[in-house]
Structure 1
Amino acid sequence: MRKLDENAPEAMKSFRALDHAAFADGALSVQQKQIIAVACATGACSSTTPPIR
């Protein structure tokens, strides 16, 4: 992330703003959003990748 900060500071600023907005409280709690993010990162919510068991 440090190299991205150095080489593309505006893009990283926008990415951090998106991340902050995505994980703000709303219809889903922050914890629910984190659980969904972990599930997606492990392929558990992909329609093309079988879930890890």
Structure 2
Amino acid sequence: MIRTQKALEKPAMMQSQIERKSKSNVLLSLQRLKVLEFLGQKMAKRQIRKFGSSL
């Protein structure tokens, strides 16, 4: 009886670990996107400044 209970619990644990991992992956990729967006804005501002001074 106990053995079957543990066998049933294990896949559920694995599932929750996988879900946790995918959630953290989503959060990480969101942070990465924000950082890239921020860097892109900084670069764009710098480019605009260069372009403006060359006119």
Check whether TM > 0.5: no
Structure with larger Rg = 2
Give the TM-score band, short-chain normalised.
Answer: 0.3 to 0.5
More helix by share: 2
Instruction: Give the TM-score, by structure 1 length.
Output: 0.37
Structure with more contact order per residue of length (Cα contacts < 8 Å, sep ≥ 6):
1
Instruction: Give the TM-score, by structure 2 length.
Output: 0.36
